[in-house]
Structure 1
């Protein structure tokens, strides 16, 4: 009885769901809310049986668009109350390489709702069937066909941790794990093939098993640079889902409010962090780039007299940098939209020889800029009134 007083009644909250959604849209104009009920019902009945609800808060949608990183992690977690169900989530990456939730839905437990969820997400993000977007998931069987149907041109990455978990049923130990990661982190096709050769030498069966999973789903060598991110793990959704544990055993409206309140508070906390920052890049981007700069000390440069440079260093590492196209044959510059150690070495060489060149930070994509980070979190989620002030449907 005490919990019901605090959290609300599981059954009666379904009758209030439409009123809650109306209040949500009133407080945050532009918010997208979709409720679906079961199609089979008694025509004479005044009630409908709830099936699923989708929510994309307008402030989160606009913040995601302001960042410009076309990457979303997809995942689901189960409800723990008396009524079975799942929370589906779509989580992006902000300018500081942290999570940025975009949309969520509460659907049936044995869900076939991913196509439904992705179609509404496509509408809210102004995407098309042929959009070159990037998704990462845990290789769930229901997500793969849903993505193929909704986004046939999308890049779909498989979480490497999930691949490793499947692999451990037969191939255990650090040797096999290290070989898998060596293949996944290779940034060029020759590096990937060399790593796969090492796998074959170690275990032919593992090599054949990995070949059955197309490397475009799990190796950096085959990733496009569209998403300006080289993530291999679906930590985005896992981090977000961990924050939702406290709401998964609550009635439906209390659960949805738990999610919204967390998102509202998170924006405030990130803004506080932003106010303490100073510099052209976000804190994590700065740390990453400082590490890249340190790696340039042992490299030397040869210029071809035009726009290309040969950069060589330890362990026979030799690559070609094209400063006009902003590419490097190592693949990292195109993959994360941040100059690699070869490109930074070229930048330093150009400056030392009196050429007209800006600082290395000027070659970094705007998604990592502190100003972009501010724009992402410049959209606040407004609070809503309680049930006593909702307009009844």
Structure 2
């Protein structure tokens, strides 16, 4: 009973939550889906799904300039089975940025298709959209993405691929080699690592070749997403944050998610206020690491805008500053200038030529101005009564007002008299024969004492 008062009732907590959310957060999208009812005369319907995309999240993601989304689902822990579906992107600081979430009956092709169609309407994504999604290959997600966004890229989490491979072929060396294949950014290096994998285990190589390299290796990634992410830990982080609300009733769980997102916006805003410079905090750290590695390279200019960049271990690449192309594909995939480009720019400066600023080669999605724009709109708070269905009292009774069930008045604020000495200020349990304040003196004490003695004698005589 106490749990129902605090968190709400699982059966009764189905109120006008959608309308309340739309009133407090303009621009949001809340869609409710119900089971089809064979009897049309029935006025009620059975709840099946709810989709939520808050207005602040929608506007922030559109200005983030990053066409990359992670999709995943996690189960509910209450008495009614279900799944929480989520779509999570990346902000300018490489932090998670939740876009939309939903509660559905199960992870199926139907529920994922319904979710993706609503997401496409909110983000204004058409059939020819070239967004990039990453998932754990859970049930229904692959055909749903292929149906709603046939031209979109779909990456698979490399950790899950590795775990599936380990079920048949164990060994740390084999697993490490799979990761090397996924991290390589050029086709030549990818083919070399795959050949090494084939030499080690031909069966594992054949099993891995059945999975398209476009879904798990950087060497085959396009530059649309501006990230080299190989893991779907975006959604896993979000699922861990909302774990405390997954065992609650439906509205309590939805409010738990909204409150977490509202608090996260405030925490990120404090970090934005501390940041100084042109780039976000993480982008600045990444660029400094690139500059440190660039000191190990030597660039040689050919006089026509092209540079041959090599390191002490004979790792050679070609950089074309005029066309912004490089054989390592680092800038194309992630949006940062690689160490070879930085080395070429430094060589151009040493020769007394005009060279662009290194920060200008960073994609705008990592700029501090973009980071601020993503969190400019805030999620508004709201007050929701979780005790849906609980009858309210008509009004509160006054202090001196009698209860409707009894005619007795409250004894609060009344000065009661002792039943032994008849003095006020104490009761019979604490009576020591004292006089009440401002009541009686020594004469009252004597009379009370004689009265008690006489009462005792009468009782004694009756016993005899």
Could you tell me the TM-score, scaled by structure 1's length? 0.96
Distance 1:223 1:339 in 2: 17
The yes-or-no answer on 1:87 pairing with 2:93 is: no
Distance in 2, Cα, partners of 1:86 & 1:53? 11
Please show how residues 63-78 of structure 1 align to structure 2 within 5 Å.
63-78=60-75
Query: Once structures 1 and 2 are overlaid, which stretch shifts more, 205-214 or 35-44?
Result: 35-44
Mapped to 2, the partners of 1:258 and 1:141 lie a distance apart of 26
- 1:36 equivalent to 2:30? Answer no
Residue 273 of structure 1 is matched in structure 2 by 271
The equivalent of 1:335 in structure 2 is 333
Distance in 2, Cα, partners of 1:386 & 1:133? 36
What is the CA-CA distance between 1:338 and the residue it aligns to?
A: 0.5
- CA deviation map 1:338-387 (0-9, x unaligned): 10000111111111112112321111111111111111111100112323
- The higher relative CO (CA closer than 8 Å, separation ≥ 6) is in 1
Structure 2 CA distance for aligned equivalents of residues 208 and 314 of structure 1: 35
Moved more, 258-267 or 292-301: 292-301
The question of whether the paired residues in 1 share the 8 Å contact of 2:306 and 2:318 is answered with: yes
1:260-305 deviations in Å (ceiling 9; x for gaps): 0000000000001111111111111111111111111121112222
Distance in 2 of aligned mates of 1:65 and 1:348:
35
1:102 aligns with 2:130: no
Specify the alignment match of 1:12 in structure 2. 12
C-alpha contact 2:107 2:139 (8 A) present in aligned 1? no
Provide structure 1 residue ranges, at least 5 long, that are not aligned to the other structure: none
Q: 2:5, 2:362 → 1: CA distance?
A: 53
Equivalent residue of 2:319, what SS? strand
CA distance in 2, matches of 1:203, 1:40: 56
The CA deviation at 1:217 is 0.2
Question: 3-state SS of the aligned residue for 1:334?
Answer: helix
* Larger Cα-atom Rg: 2
Contact 2:73 2:107 in 1 (8 A): no
CA drift at 1:110: 4.8
Q: Secondary structure at the match of 2:81?
A: coil
Secondary structure of the residue aligned to 1:10 is: coil
CA contact (8 A) 2:37 2:45 kept: no
SS at match of 1:305: coil
Distance, in Å, in 1 between the alignment partners of 2:326 and 2:28 is: 42
Q: Please say if 1:114 is aligned against 2:112.
A: yes
Partner deviation per Cα, 1:311-331 (whole Å, 9 max, x = no partner):
111332111112123221001
The two structures have a TM-score, normalised by structure 2, of: 0.82
Structure 1, 301-310 or 214-223: larger mean CA deviation: 301-310
1:142 corresponds in structure 2 to: 140
Please show how residues 203-222 of structure 1 align to structure 2 within 5 Å: 203-222=201-220
Which consecutive residues of structure 2, in runs of 5 or more, have no partner in the other structure? 389-464
In the aligned structure 1, how far is the partner of 2:129 from the partner of 2:309? Answer: 35
* Aligned partners of 1:20 and 1:387 also within 8 Å: no
**Conserved in 2, the CA contact under 8 Å of 1:311 and 1:321?**
yes
Structure 2: how far apart are the matches of 1:88 and 1:141?
A: 12
Partner of 2:294, secondary structure, is: coil
Tell whether 2:283 aligns with 1:293.
no
Q: Provide the secondary structure at the position in 1 that maps to 2:116.
A: helix
Contact 1:271 1:377 in 2 (8 A): yes
In structure 2, what is the Cα distance between the partners aligned to 1:209 and 1:386? 52
Task: Work out whether residues 41 and 48 of structure 1, in 8 Å CA contact, stay in contact via their aligned partners in 2.
Answer: no
Taking the TM superposition and a 5 Å limit, the aligned residue runs for 1:124-135 are 124-135=122-133
State the partner residue of 2:44. 47
Whether the 8 Å CA contact 1:338–1:363 is kept in 2: the answer is: yes
CA distance in 2, matches of 1:266, 1:159: 25
Aligned Cα RMSD in Å? 1.4
Query: 1: distance between equivalents of 2:22 and 2:325?
Result: 45
Report the secondary structure of 1:113's partner residue: helix
> For residues 141 and 39 of structure 1, what CA distance do their matches in structure 2 show?
23
Tell me the equivalent position of 1:381.
379
In structure 2, what is the Cα distance between the partners aligned to 1:370 and 1:385? 33
- Alpha-carbon distance in 2 for matches of 1:200, 1:314: 29
